[in-house]
């Protein structure tokens, strides 16, 4: 695993028990694994009939679930995957060791904004992410999107499968309540109330006014930055697959 760079402004929301047992996410949020698959499939479809790109970038690789889907979609295209949490990268390195040994994957320890700021204009043809941007504070997320646009090559693709809050706040609250019920059900059955506590605290962070990523304002922000077209290709409750291109 090649891990470089120091962390600057990013928060470490996935350190400790959540990072160490991140596979539990598949139990409390089955939609997450499905979204990782969809991100990979969308990239594969977008690349069909196009010239093979020189490289691709993933922001927030975590333990490598979406990374694996992207590697399968990208065929022989080298992928750089960035994450700010060392324990996540250790797991990704173990899960994706064969890809690293084959020279297809480079793992980088850095926060998204710091990494992007270090890249030249028009560096990547494909930039992908899943369940990462919603963790950012609103201002930081805006800067990340601006930098994604800058380093994306003209004609390039940005694809994000993520939590996008409903603009109908009452319906959004109802869905979050159902999500919390699922947390309790799963962690009670596992007798892991300790993990329940950590995930509930994390959910409160996701839903805070300074962080919650609602769909319509998010699409508007991407359009204001310059992405065109900005499209929603899939929506399931609080999750959506969103893309933007650089003209």
- pLDDT recorded at residue 5: 33
Helix (H, G, I), strand (E, B) or coil at 50: coil
Question: Across the strands, what pairs with 185?
Answer: none
Q: Could you give the angle at the alpha carbon of 114 between the alpha carbons of 116 and 208, nearest 5°?
A: 100
Residue 126 has pLDDT above 90, yes or no: yes
CA–CA gap between residue 18 and residue 33 (Å, rounded): 16
Residue 95 has pLDDT above 90, yes or no: yes
Single pTM value for the model: 0.89
- Average pLDDT score, the chain: 90
52-70 average pLDDT score: 95
For residue 149, CA distances in Å to 3, 44, 107, 222, 234 come to 24, 21, 22, 9, 22
Residue 1 has pLDDT above 60, yes or no: no
CA–CA gap between residue 14 and residue 199 (Å, rounded): 10
Q: Which residues contact 215 (CB under 8 A, 6 or more apart)?
A: 164, 165, 166, 167, 232, 235, 240, 242
Q: What's the pLDDT band for 3 if we cut at 50, 70, 90?
A: very low
Q: Alpha helix (H) ranges present in the chain? A: 17-20, 25-28, 30-47, 65-74, 86-95, 97-101, 112-117, 138-151, 169-189, 193-206, 215-225
What confidence tens digit (pLDDT) does each residue in 192-206 have? Answer: 888 888 888 888 899
């Amino acid at each position: 695993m090649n891990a470089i760079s120091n962390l600057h402004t990013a928060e470490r929301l996935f350190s400790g028990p959540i990072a160490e047992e991140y596979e539990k996410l598949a139990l409390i949020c089955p939609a997450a694994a499905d979204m990782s698959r969809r991100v990979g499939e969308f990239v594969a479809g977008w690349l069909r009939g196009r010239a093979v790109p020189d490289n691709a970038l993933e922001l927030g690789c975590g333990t490598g679930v979406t990374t694996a889907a992207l590697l399968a979609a990208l065929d022989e295209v080298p992928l750089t995957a960035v994450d700010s949490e060392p324990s996540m990268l250790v797991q990704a390195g173990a899960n994706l060791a064969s890809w690293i040994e084959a020279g297809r994957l480079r793992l980088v320890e850095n926060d998204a904004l710091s990494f992007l700021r270090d890249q030249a204009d028009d560096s990547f043809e494909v930039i992908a992410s899943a369940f990462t941007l919603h963790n950012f504070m609103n201002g930081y997320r805006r800067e990340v999107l601006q930098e994604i646009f800058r380093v994306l090559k003209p004609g390039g693709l940005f694809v994000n499968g993520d939590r996008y809050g409903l603009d109908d706040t009452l319906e959004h609250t109802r869905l979050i309540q159902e999500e919390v019920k699922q947390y309790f059900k799963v962690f009670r059955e596992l007798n892991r109330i300790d993990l329940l506590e950590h995930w509930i605290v994390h959910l409160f962070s996701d839903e805070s006014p300074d962080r919650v990523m609602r769909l319509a304002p998010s699409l508007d922000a991407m359009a204001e930055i310059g992405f065109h077209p900005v499209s929603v290709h899939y929506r399931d409750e609080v999750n959506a697959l969103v893309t933007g291109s650089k003209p």
